Amino acid sequence: MLRAAAAADAGDRRVGDRVVGMSATTANMYRMVSIAEAQETVLKAISPLPVMSIGLMDAMGYILGKNVIAREPLPPFPASIKDGYAVVSSDGIGDYDVAFEALAGTAAGHLKAGTVAYITTGAPLPHGADAVVQIENTEKLPPGPEGQQRVRIVKPAKGPRDDVRALGSDIAAGEVVLAAGSLIGAAEIGLLATVGRATVKVRRKALVAVLSTGDELVEPDQDALGPGQIRDANRFMLAAAARSAGCNVVDLGIARDDPAQVEAKFQEALSTGVEVLLTSGGVSVGDRDFIKPILERQGTVHFGKVRMKPGKPLTFATINATASRSSSGQLVVFGLPGNPVSSIVTFNLVVLPALRAMAGWPEPRLRRVHARTQTDIKLDPERPEYHRVSLHWHRTGESAGELAAASTGGQISSRLLSMRSANALLELPAAQGVLPAGSIVSALLIDDLGSMPVPEGIPMIVPAL
Residue 239 found at the interface with its own copies (CB under 8 A): yes
User: How many residues bind its own copies, per CB under 8 A?
Assistant: 144
115-119 vs 94-102, strand pairing mode: parallel
Q: Binders of its own copies among 117-146, rule CB under 8 A?
A: 118, 120-124, 135, 139-140
Distance between CA atoms of 343 and 281, rounded to whole angstroms? 9
Q: Residue from 34, 41, 194, 300 that binds its own copies (CB under 8 A)?
A: 194
> Which residues make Cβ contacts (< 8 Å) with residue 4, sequence separation at least 6?
23
Strand order of the sheet with strand 248-255?
248-255, 207-213, 276-280, 330-336, 315-320, 300-303
> Which residues make Cβ contacts (< 8 Å) with residue 396, sequence separation at least 6?
459
Q: Binders of its own copies among 54-113, rule CB under 8 A?
A: 56-57, 59-60, 72, 74-77, 79, 81-83, 98, 101, 103-108
Q: Binders of its own copies among 386-405, rule CB under 8 A?
A: 393, 400-402
Output the furthest CA–CA distance in the chain (Å, rounded). 112
Residue 378 found at the interface with its own copies (CB under 8 A): no
Residue 173 found at the interface with its own copies (CB under 8 A): no
The backbone torsions φ and ψ at residue 336, rounded to the nearest 5 degrees and listed phi first, read -90, 150
The 21-40 contact track toward its own copies, x by CB under 8 A, reads: xx------------------
CB-nearer residue toward its own copies: 162 or 170? 170
CB-nearer residue toward its own copies: 148 or 271? 148
Q: Binders of its own copies among 203-232, rule CB under 8 A?
A: 214-217, 219-223, 225-232
CB-nearer residue toward its own copies: 232 or 296? 232
Residue 380 found at the interface with its own copies (CB under 8 A): no
Q: Min. distance of Cβ 228 from its own copies in angstroms?
A: 5
CB-nearer residue toward its own copies: 381 or 450? 450
The answer to whether the CB of 265 falls within 8 A of the CB of 281 is no
Could you tell me which of 239, 88, 80, 85 has the C-alpha nearest to residue 150? 85
Classify residue 56 as left (phi > 0), alpha (psi -120 to 50) or beta. alpha
The backbone torsions φ and ψ at residue 388, rounded to the nearest 5 degrees and listed phi first, read -75, 130
Q: Binders of its own copies among 406-425, rule CB under 8 A?
A: 412, 414-417, 419-422
